[in-house]
A and B are shown apart, each in its own frame.
Chain A
């Protein structure tokens, strides 16, 4: 009954598929911000691409009339997350303050049950100990743990940035402002296809955009109540 309390913030992302060019800048930014090791080519062939955000590319039509459709998929921060109750050690639980789906790496024993139960397949298992080719280890973000082998990890909506901003606001004795927090992917998106904010703040940009005619949620029929809203792309060009 996690989402009924209306306590804290309800962090929400909007992905405008009409604006997404599939440039993968968000993927690179996420790797840099969250200390995600780069997988080798071999690992990707073995189906172990470990991006916290991935651009799913689907082809439409037959050659030569083909179109590429891009779908950025990352943790949907479900309100009714299927991954949470299945964890036997509470490594996956729902945070009260941010209303996010949180993964505690130090608790995780690596049963990988959460990964099976995630219909979006956004949970990444650390099959190996993390490795960063020099000099990449020099750019590791000190605010984010480098996760050891054998644990699950996933997109956190850059919770370290959310917490920094909130503490700053606490010190200054003011509420968080809209736009003060930007996850790395949002910050790096050149076309402004990703919009981030607090849905429960009525004046935020996301709260105003959610009742959008193009809005849909990924795999909505599963009832997971994702905190990520997609705006339909394709031939609509409504946002232009």
Chain B
């Protein structure tokens, strides 16, 4: 494996260097870097497949808990449809509330998946390899649940099909001039695109699962693998189609959250009507999305015992990524805030006064979660590589970003041009139940998904390991990546 000596045996059975010091360094490097620590794929395949097949009672207890919460959400939704939106806390001024905040939140956590797999793929960042699928799965289910929220939100859900552009007897088509229509097309595009992108990358892993399972799983994976053999031209086309999808899906990803923000900023509501909302929301989405990926990485590492695949280096890299996004988010929030503050326009002033007045606890909680916590901790490598610390930081960021969305949606609406109509908003039980229930629903879908689909893209890990070499520089060794196109 050292330098370019001819090798015998597979890449995972390379002899250690004869120099003891270098051998020691290599041993150390293997502990640290996943891609240096090559092991036989036969063994790693089983590690991944066993986690899918071996399910303990604790898993089913968790599934039952999440299922019960999901059921509570469905019941609350049903009651809301039957009795009308009157049971929520919404009112004549605050017509959009946590349902729209949830839409933004769930689309937001769905953003990191594609960014990690598509953008980092194009930039050839190796740390994405074991993370990509876990992140894409959040995208898939986050988006699907986000797509539920407009349905939960509308008053006449039984008429919602009017929004679909299909020929009909009413001779009426949806209004493409509405930002809601843009948003709908953007979410549909993103959901279909992410699904295709994820499926293409899954084909080799389905083939792996097909080869090493029995019974119904073998049949299922056989059908999903589409007859993949891993032939050269198949790989070549897979790489190219992944690159095409990556290039198209990155602008679509930006457009999705921009579209969501435009739902707000196209309105002339003070506090919403701001040109910065597009990029601001995209950065916010990535911020909460990366934090969500970190939380999920910790959970699957702990519960599925993926210590081999998800290592300190990955949490470190994600921590640095999160820190960068913290800074970007602060920049955008500050730019938005100071513009409004300096302009001193009556309506914008009223909104800022409300945020620092009656809503001050939430506002300062948001600043604490989004600014103080990450900035105070993430600069330290020890924090970034400590799982409990990263879990806590991830949860803080989730809380902060959720509160931010609620403040933007419901907070801004409670102040409008005619002070006679200033009404404050307090959530009632349906909003709370639906919000918690949909989070549980996300967890439920995710947990069941990990039983069926390899949550670690093993072929990407093998690719990294096969293409990795160590090079001797003086008295040290350094990992280098081999790239042949």
Contact = CB atoms under 8 A, between A and B. Distances in A.
A22 interface: no
Contacts of A46: 89, 91
Contact of B181 (A56, A88, A150, A222): A88
Nearest to A73: B418
A116 interface: yes
B92 A121 contact: yes
**B178, B180, B416, B423 pick with most chain A CB within 10 angstroms:** B178
Contacts of B157: 109, 150
B417 A219 contact: yes
Interface in B420-451: 420-421, 423-424
Interface in B243-268: 263, 266-268
Interface stretch (B15-23, B93-101, B312-320): B93-101
Contacts of A119: 268-269, 416-418
Interface in B65-85: 83-85
A87 B178 contact: yes
Contact of B418 (A86, A88, A121, A152): A121
Contacts of B91: 46-48
Nearest to B267: A117
A178 B322 CA distance: 68
A127 B416 CA distance: 20
Given A88-B184, A117-B269, A150-B154, A124 B92 contact: yes
A129 B155 CA distance: 11
A148 B268 CA distance: 28
Nearest to B266: A86
A88 B84 contact: no
A152 to B, nearest CB: 8
B277 to A, nearest CB: 14
Nearest to B159: A109
B175 interface: yes
Contact of B180 (A56, A113, A120): A113
B156 interface: yes
Given A120-B417, A150-B156, A125 B92 contact: yes
B179 interface: yes
A50 interface: yes
Given A46-B91, A119-B416, A124-B92, A109 B84 contact: no
Contacts of A82: 267-268
Contacts of A128: 83-84, 86
A149 B87 CA distance: 12
Contacts of B424: 47
A217 to B, nearest CB: 13
A115 interface: yes
B192 to A, nearest CB: 20
Contacts of B159: 89, 107-110
B172 A115 contact: no
B423 to A, nearest CB: 3
A149 B421 contact: no
B150 interface: yes
Interface string B346-382: 0000000000000000000000000000000000000
B286 interface: no
A47 B88 CA distance: 12
Interface residues of A, number: 45
A86 B418 CA distance: 21
Contacts of A117: 266-269
B94 A47 contact: yes
A109 B178 contact: no
B420 A56 contact: yes
Contacts of A125: 85, 90, 92, 95, 155
B349 to A, nearest CB: 16
Given A88-B180, A88-B181, A129-B84, A112 B95 contact: yes
Contacts of A47: 91-94, 423-424
A83 to B, nearest CB: 10
B485 interface: no
Contacts of B92: 47-50, 115, 121, 124-125
Interface string A68-112: 000101000000001001111110000000000000000111111
Interface in B157-184: 157, 159-160, 162-163, 172, 174-175, 177-181, 184
A149 B155 contact: yes
Contacts of B84: 126-129, 149-150
Given A88-B184, A116-B267, A127 B162 contact: no
A147 to B, nearest CB: 11
B173 to A, nearest CB: 8
Ranked 4 nearest A-B pairs via Cβ: A110-B155, A150-B155, A47-B91, A47-B423
30 contacts: A46-B89, A46-B91, A47-B91, A48-B86, A56-B418, A73-B420, A82-B267, A82-B268, A85-B177, A86-B179, A86-B180, A86-B266, A87-B178, A89-B162, A90-B174, A107-B172, A108-B156, A109-B163, A110-B159, A111-B153, A111-B155, A111-B180, A120-B418, A121-B92, A121-B416, A121-B421, A125-B92, A127-B85, A149-B155, A150-B154
